[in-house]
Amino acid sequence: MNTRKIAFVVPRYGVQSAGGAEMLAQGVAERLAASGNEVSVLTTCACDHFTWANHYRPGRETIRDVTVHRFPVDPRDAADDFASIQERISRGTAVAPEEEERWIRGSVHSAPLYDFIRENRDRFGCFIFLPYLFGTTWAGSAVAPEKSLLIPCLHDEPYARLGIFRGMFARVRGILFNSRPERELAARLFGTEDASAAVAGMGFEARPRYRPERFRRKFGLKTHFLLYAGRREQGKNTPLLIEYVRTFRKGNPAHPLSLVLLGTGEVRIPPECAGDILDIGYIDEDLKHDGYAASLALCQPSVNESLSIVLMEAWLAGAPGLVNGRCAVTSDHCTRANGGLAFRDYYEFEESLLYLLGHAGLRERLAAGGRRYVEREYSWNAVMKRYDAAFALFDI
């Protein structure tokens, strides 16, 4: 493997409640550094992705062989009509190009970070930007587009249809996708060509041991339960899952089933479900993985996924997936892996659960299919080989 000088550009880095894109950046950066590359991360001083307030000191530090440069976030330059434009975009209503630009200018930006790229563009072989939706990616990738790669973490959402992003996808040197359906979505939306696109993703490793009983004991779980892990919000369909479980419990009293919710974000649990839905919140990683192992299935109701880290983790822990069939990415994973079931509405959700509960050994067989899939396609070894092939494809 050739030694390369690579800089990741990500709005936040090394924070505890990082999203999927930040976890991906950290995982890949550390692996590339461990395999002899010189890896830097250019990021902001922000910790909270709602306020984007400067939290960390600007400057340089080294985290697990990766040099992290932090730059202050610019004062927000949100136009007066930012909220109204955002509202219209999120509803899927078309907005004028100048409104799109005003909206992205109101996102998170850091002029010192862009200056750093401009001044050091010759020092690095490439700058890898992620995810696509942030100001740092849009403006940063315009500084040295011939050296810019994009890991978009793209979902099928109204924002992805903005003209400003079509321009960004067209100007960068190459795009690294997390999954095949994500790449197909980009081809449909932006006409992304094979010569500038590759599927890479991130890698996963099974833990040395899982202790499902520890999780059950700690939270007093005596029945089968579905596990949800991740941000709890409307965009991830957490309220829909709660409603599905409420309806299931009411319609199937002979099948006791609970829902355990992990992660951050507020959830509203209907009072009549207080005994069936357990909100555990944020827990440590070991316990989370024990939770996967103890669950009947990991339920991923979100349609906004480009990879789904929790699905991969659950498969390694021995739990099958139960995913939203309207999400091309997770349903594709389940079909390819033979590792889980997909529902497109409540009826299929209920029937999938009854099928899982009624077929002894199916849970384990699905999970085994998922585990083989992760080991084959999303092990660090497989992923790093794909990164190497992509760098060669993009001539970096």
Partner 1 sequence: MTDIFQIGADGVDVAAIQREIEDRVARKKEAGVYDRYDLSRVAALELSGVKSEADFLEYSLKVIQQTWDIDIGDFPIYSKGGILGAPAVFLKKAIWKLLKFYTYRLFSQQKEFNCQMVNAIVSLNRKLDAAQK
Stretch that binds partner 1, among 106-114, 164-172, 214-222, 342-350 (CB under 8 A): 342-350
Binding marks (x or -) toward partner 1, 134..173, rule CB under 8 A?
----------------------xxx---------------
Q: Residue 394: exposed, middle, or buried by beta-carbon count in 10 A (0-12, 13-18, 19+)?
A: buried
Q: Which residue has the tokens 């434009």?
A: 85
C-alpha–C-alpha distance, residues 370 and 336, integer Å: 9
Stretch that binds partner 1, among 11-19, 46-54, 209-217, 368-376 (CB under 8 A): 368-376
Determine if 252 is a binding residue for partner 1 (CB under 8 A): no
Determine if 86 is a binding residue for partner 1 (CB under 8 A): no
C-alpha–C-alpha distance, residues 300 and 259, integer Å: 12
C-alpha–C-alpha distance, residues 381 and 239, integer Å: 37
| Amino acid occupying residue 303 | V
| Count of alpha carbons within 13 angstroms of residue 209, beta-carbon side | 4
Determine if 337 is a binding residue for partner 1 (CB under 8 A): yes
Q: Measured over all CA atoms, what is the biggest interatomic distance in the chain, rounded to whole angstroms? A: 67
Phi, psi of 275 (to 5 degrees): -80, -15
Angle of CA points 179, 46, 238, to nearest 5°: 50
Q: Among residues 377, 383, 391, 396, which is the contact residue for partner 1, using CB under 8 A?
A: 377
Determine if 373 is a binding residue for partner 1 (CB under 8 A): yes
Stretch that binds partner 1, among 9-17, 64-72, 211-219, 234-242 (CB under 8 A): 234-242
Q: Among residues 95, 296, 303, 316, which is the contact residue for partner 1, using CB under 8 A?
A: 303
Determine if 100 is a binding residue for partner 1 (CB under 8 A): no
Q: Among residues 5, 348, 379, 388, which is the contact residue for partner 1, using CB under 8 A?
A: 348
Determine if 352 is a binding residue for partner 1 (CB under 8 A): yes
Q: Please provide the distance, in angstroms rounded to a whole number, between the alpha carbons at the two ends of the chain.
A: 12
Residue (78 or 240) nearer to partner 1, CB: 240
Q: CA torsion, points 366, 368, 373, 379, in degrees to nearest 10? A: 140
| Residue 94 beta carbon to partner 1: minimum distance, rounded to whole angstroms | 10
Binding residues (CB under 8 A) for partner 1: these are: 92, 156-158, 180, 183-184, 187, 194, 199, 234, 237, 239-240, 243-244, 247, 251, 272, 303, 326, 334-342, 345-348, 351-352, 355, 362, 365-366, 368-369, 372-373, 376-377, 386
